Structure 1
Amino acid sequence: MNLPDVEWRHLDAVEARELRATVEDIYRRSYVDAIASGDPFDAPEQFMHRFDNYTDPAGGSVFAMVMAYVGGTPAGQTWGWTLRPNAAWWRNFQPDDGLAGIDTFTTEDGTRTFALSEIMVCAEYTGRGLARSLHDTLLSSRPERRATLLVEPENERAYGAYLRWGWSRVGVTKPGWPNAPTFDVLIRE
C-alpha cells in the first residue's frame, strides 16, 4: 500500500452507528460519480437508509466494519455481516449453470458465510492500495469459512479487483431494496 500513517479502526454495529456522519461523509467522497448520476439507488439518503438497516440492533446480524484513517482523516471503509439462517441474501439468487447443490450452497447456519457489503475509498486516496488493504483487514478478522459479495457487472474496476483478489462468480441476484440493480454474486472461500 502506498499510503503513510494509516490507522485501522474495527467497529461493531453500535460503534458504527455512533460514526454515522463519518460513514455518510466517506460515502459522499467515494461515490461522487454514482451520486451525480441521479440513480435513486445511489442517493445518499437511500444509502444511509440501508446502512441504518444493516446496523439495526433488532436485526440480529453480526455486523463488522473497518474504517481507515490517513493522517487522522477518514479515507475509506468496509463492512459486512454474518449471514443468518434463512438469509434474505439468497432470496432472489439465480445460480450459474453448473453450480451443484444449490440448496446446500444457500443454506446458512449463522456461522458459515460473511456477506461483504461495502468497500469504499475516498476519491483522493484511490489507486494506492487502500481498497485491497480494507478488504484484507476486514476479511482476515472474520471466523466464517467463506465470504460473498455483490458487484454490478458494469463496475469493471471493482469487478476486476475482486477477481484478482480470489473471488469467483456463482450467479446473479436482485436485492429487495428500492431501485436495486441486478448484481453478480461472487464467493470466496
Structure 2
Amino acid sequence: MIEFRRYNSVEAREIRDTVLDIFTRSYVDAIASGDPFESADAFGKRFDAYTRGAGFDLVIAHISDIAVGQSWGWPLGTESAWWGGLELDDATIDRAEFVAEDGKRTFALSEIMVDADHAGKGLAHSLHDELLRPRGEQRGTLLVRPDNERAYAAYRRWGWSRVGTLTPRWDDAPTFDALVRALS
C-alpha cells in the first residue's frame, strides 16, 4: 500500500537526504550520463533554492515505510523567474499576460520521480495527482525534455499541453518544452 506524506519547505529541508536518495535511485541513467545538469550536486543545489521560496509543497510516496518517489512544486509569485526565456508557440498569445503571476495563478510542478524499482507501475501518476489535488491555482506548468517520450506521453494523458519552449537559468540547463494544464 502506498502512503503519501506531505512536507512544506522547512520540513523538506529537514529530510534533504531522503530527497537526494530518491533522486539517485530515480535518475540512475541520467546521473550516469555525466551531464552536469543531472549530477546529484546540481540537483541538490536546485532543491535548496526551490525550498527557499514561498509555498513549496513536497509529496513523498512510501511503500512499507520506504520512500520510493516524490513530487514537488510551488506557486509562482510576482517576482518568479520561471517564465524567463519562454518562447511561446502561438504568436497571437500576449506574452506579458501569459507570464503575469500573482502567487495564486500558476503552480509550477517542478519534479516527479520514482525510484527505478517502482517505475512503470502508476506511482508517478499517483504522485502527480496527490500533489495537485489540493492546489487552488488556476493552472499548472511543468517542463519536460522533448526527447523524454515516456514522460511526455504521460503528461499528455494527464491533460498537459505544450505552449512553447523554455531554458531555465540554471547552469548547464537544457531547453525544455513548457506545458500547462488547468487546475481549477
Percent same amino acid among aligned pairs?
57
Post-superposition, which runs of at least 4 consecutive aligned residues in structure 1 deviate over 3 A?
A: none
Looking at structure 2, the residues matched to 133 and 143 of structure 1 have their Cα atoms a distance apart, in angstroms, of 18
Distance change in 2, residues 1:99/1:188 (3 Å): farther
Q: Could you tell me which of 19, 25, 41 is aligned with 2:37?
A: 41
Q: Tell me the equivalent position of 1:12.
A: 8
Structure 1 residue runs without a partner (length 5+): none
C-alpha offsets along residues 46-103 of structure 1, whole Å, 9 cap, x if unaligned?
00000000012xx4x2100100000110110000000001320111111002452221
Q: Tell me the equivalent position of 1:26.
A: 22
TM-score, L = length of structure 2? 0.97
Looking at structure 2, the residues matched to 91 and 182 of structure 1 have their Cα atoms a distance apart, in angstroms, of 12
Whether the 8 Å contact between 1:86 and 1:107 is mirrored in structure 2 is no
Looking at structure 1, the residues matched to 93 and 173 of structure 2 have their Cα atoms a distance apart, in angstroms, of 27
Structure 2 residue runs without a partner (length 5+): none
Looking at structure 1, the residues matched to 8 and 79 of structure 2 have their Cα atoms a distance apart, in angstroms, of 22
TM-score, L = length of structure 1? 0.94
Q: Secondary structure at the match of 1:77?
A: strand
Q: Tell me the equivalent position of 1:154.
A: 147
Q: Tell me the equivalent position of 1:78.
A: 71
What is the number of equivalent residue pairs in this alignment? 182
* Residue 113 of structure 1 pairs with residue 106 of structure 2: yes
Looking at structure 1, the residues matched to 119 and 15 of structure 2 have their Cα atoms a distance apart, in angstroms, of 22
Looking at structure 1, the residues matched to 10 and 92 of structure 2 have their Cα atoms a distance apart, in angstroms, of 37
Alignment-mate amino acid for residue 32 of structure 1: V
Distance change in 2, residues 1:99/1:171 (3 Å): farther
* Residue 124 of structure 1 pairs with residue 117 of structure 2: yes
Q: Tell me the equivalent position of 2:166.
A: 173
Q: Secondary structure at the match of 1:124?
A: helix
C-alpha offsets along residues 17-65 of structure 1, whole Å, 9 cap, x if unaligned?
1100000000000000000000000000000000000012xx4x21001
Q: Secondary structure at the match of 2:82?
A: helix
Looking at structure 2, the residues matched to 183 and 130 of structure 1 have their Cα atoms a distance apart, in angstroms, of 23
Looking at structure 2, the residues matched to 118 and 81 of structure 1 have their Cα atoms a distance apart, in angstroms, of 11
Q: Could you tell me which of 55, 67, 76 is aligned with 1:62?
A: 55
Looking at structure 2, the residues matched to 185 and 30 of structure 1 have their Cα atoms a distance apart, in angstroms, of 22
Q: Secondary structure at the match of 1:175?
A: coil
Looking at structure 2, the residues matched to 13 and 102 of structure 1 have their Cα atoms a distance apart, in angstroms, of 30
